[in-house]
């Protein structure tokens, strides 16, 4: 299959001279092994867009996809902030409006493989989340081949994500063709201390890598010591255990270049299951800062790539909106905690959101609130809501650029956009 990639649309001779230093101090994980990478060249072939845009919509945003030049490679020096920023800017500028909008969406993979491939051409999603049904009747070889086909079709390599938390939430290891036994829960693992968590995370990340999966929607950073609480069996336990678990998980995951996701910000607490409806959290901010936010702070300091925001209504910050759709909650995460990675919603298909908003409305609200990635199950609706808002000015180019550039930067960091040769 002919690969499509934006890299061959732009030329960056200004970066070539410094390329010999690229990533020479870094390590990358490939095929389950950690290897030294010296001066990787970011290169992929592309097919041209089928539509040419000759005008903008008055906001500086192109209204349709455009043909782009189709020659060259990109090289950058990630040890230098200026060089990384230049690379991110050039990649961003190479994308059409349609591709930029798609990058904002992390969607559940359609059950039909043909539809999943078709959606890449139509909606350009930033990534797919795979669930247990996507692995049940597959083998490691068929999963890996399918993920390769997704990336070959996409103009920008995808986040390929799973919820492989361990314990009650496992998408892969519940099936014996992938692992003899499912991964242990955080609560079980932490009994063996940080070393046990590190060893488990190492094996988990290498399994994901072998399948072509580059992002885990884990670790759970929630604190729970009451077995009657919804989140209890998914958490590592009390404050001390949660901090130790999260830190060990994130450090090992970062070492192996598998994306990590702290969830569910700002801490689930004893709240009800938001899959089925609204949940209200009446705790004060001081209590959250002293307890529930601590594992998130530790995870951020350890280098977590993403934070997933819950749908709980955190009344001390916002009386009306789920945290995932609340600007105040995102300001706490960005401004007070200093997190500059990817912020994503919990699945917008959950009852706490769908009881209030339709898919298009929720997608736009989530980006305007400060999320970078809309996690959803209805790709066409989410895409249309964001695209129409971009055309009429409700979603500005500045706001789009802020999140898409953050997504590109993360994909570079994890080696998702990091190609040594023209063939993956």
Supply the pLDDT for residue 272.
64
Spatial separation of the C-alpha atoms in residues 377 and 151, rounded to whole Å: 20
Where in the sequence is the domain holding 337, given as residue range(s)?
A: 103-395
User: Is position 181 within any domain?
Assistant: yes
Number of structural domains found in the chain: 1
Return the number of other C-beta atoms located less than 10 Å from residue 39's C-beta: 14
Give the pLDDT confidence score for residue 419 in this predicted structure: 52
Axis-axis angle for helices 359-369, 379-392 (nearest 10): 60
Q: Could you say which DSSP state residue 20 is in?
A: G
Angstrom distance (rounded) from CA 90 to CA 70: 14
Q: Is the peptide bond before 266 cis (omega within 30 degrees of 0)?
A: yes
- Alpha carbon 152 to its chain's center: 19
The answer, yes or no, to whether the previous bond of 219 is cis (omega within 30 of 0) is yes
How distant is the alpha carbon of residue 385 from its chain centre? 20
402 located within any domain: no
Whether 15 is covered by a domain: the verdict is: no
Residue 5 lies in a domain: no
Q: What is the pLDDT of residue 66?
A: 43
pLDDT at 40: 35
Angle between helices 113-123 and 140-153 (to 10 degrees): 20
Structure-token pair, residue 367: 């980006």
The whole-angstrom separation of Cα 257 and Cα 273 is: 31
pLDDT of residue 21: 37
Would 1 be classed as within a structural domain? no
Domain membership flag for residue 7: no
Q: What is the DSSP string of 148-216?
A: HHHHHH-SSPPEEEE---BTTB-SSTTSTTT-SSPPPPHHHHGGGHHHHHHHHHHHHHHHHHHHT--EE
Domain at 249, CATH number: 3.20.20.300
Two tokens at 190? 């932490």
Q: Is residue 29 part of a domain?
A: no
The verdict on residue 75 lying in a domain is no
**Averaged pLDDT, groups of 10, the chain, 424 residues long:** 43 36 40 36 36 40 45 48 88 98 98 97 98 98 98 96 98 98 98 98 99 99 93 96 99 99 92 72 94 98 98 95 97 98 96 92 98 98 98 98 98 85 33
């Amino acid at each position: 299959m002919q690969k499509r990639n934006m890299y061959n649309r732009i030329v960056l001779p200004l970066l070539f001279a410094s390329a010999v230093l690229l990533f020479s101090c870094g390590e990358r994980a490939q095929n389950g092994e950690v290897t030294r990478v010296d001066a990787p060249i970011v290169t992929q072939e592309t097919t041209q867009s089928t539509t040419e845009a000759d005008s903008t919509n008055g906001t500086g945003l192109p209204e349709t996809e455009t043909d782009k030049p189709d020659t060259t490679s990109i090289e950058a020096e990630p040890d230098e902030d200026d060089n990384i920023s230049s690379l991110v800017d050039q990649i961003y500028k190479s994308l059409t409006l349609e591709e930029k909008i798609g990058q904002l969406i992390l969607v559940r993979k359609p059950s039909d493989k043909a539809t999943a491939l078709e959606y890449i051409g139509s909606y350009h999603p930033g990534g797919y989340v795979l669930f247990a049904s996507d692995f049940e009747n597959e083998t490691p070889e068929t999963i890996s081949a399918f993920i390769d086909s997704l990336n070959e079709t996409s103009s920008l390599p995808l986040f390929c994500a799973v919820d492989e938390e361990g314990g009650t939430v496992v998408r892969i290891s519940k099936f014996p063709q992938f692992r003899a036994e499912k991964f242990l829960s955080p609560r079980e693992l932490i009994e063996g201390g940080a070393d046990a968590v590190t060893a488990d995370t190492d094996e988990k990340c290498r399994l994901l890598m072998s399948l072509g999966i580059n992002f885990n929607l884990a670790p759970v950073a929630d604190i729970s010591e009451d077995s009657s609480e919804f989140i209890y069996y998914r958490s590592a336990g009390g404050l001390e255990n949660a901090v130790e678990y999260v830190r060990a998980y994130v450090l090992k995951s970062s070492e192996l270049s598998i994306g990590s996701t702290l969830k569910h910000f700002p801490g689930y607490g004893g709240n009800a299951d938001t899959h089925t409806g609204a949940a209200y959290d009446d705790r004060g901010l001081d209590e959250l800062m002293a307890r529930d936010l601590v594992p998130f702070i530790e995870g951020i300091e350890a280098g977590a790539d993403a934070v997933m925001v819950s749908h709980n209504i955190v009344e001390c910050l916002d009386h009306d909106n789920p945290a995932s759709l609340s600007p105040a909650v995102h300001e706490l995460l960005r401004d007070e905690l200093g997190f500059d990675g990817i912020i994503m919603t919990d699945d917008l298909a959950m009852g706490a959101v769908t009881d209030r908003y339709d898919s298009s409305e929720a997608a736009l609200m989530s980006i305007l609130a400060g999320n970078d990635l809309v996690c959803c199950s209805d790709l066409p609706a989410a895409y249309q809501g964001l695209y129409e808002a971009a055309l009429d000015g409700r979603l500005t180019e500045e706001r789009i650029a802020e999140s898409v550039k953050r997504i590109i930067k993360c994909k570079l960091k994890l080696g998702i956009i990091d190609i040594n040769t023209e063939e993956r």
